Amino acid sequence: MTYSELDSMLRRTCKTDDEEEKDRILAPFDECINYIQFANDECDYGMGFELGMCVFSHETSKSFMGTIRSLLPMAYKLLKRQLYAQIMTRICDEEDEKIAKNE
């Protein structure tokens, strides 16, 4: 998946309210996350880190905090960067609090 495909996928997902449409749009993304789990099992931790950073730095990142929370802290832990994992977890917690206040 290229960055431009990921960008398009994330944007289209945020523009629709139909859950079935979101699932259809995100199917390749979900498949990529499954591949990342296999890669982690094979000690290739960069895939999860790279996808997590791409989603985190995307303008729609607030809509994907759950995905970011599952990818980045795990990648940092596997890369033996515990402090960064804690920082990323804290960032996700703070974003969740902001979202909860606005609802």
Catalytic residues: 42
Sign of CA dihedral 50, 56, 58, 63: positive
Strand, helix or coil at 58?
Answer: coil
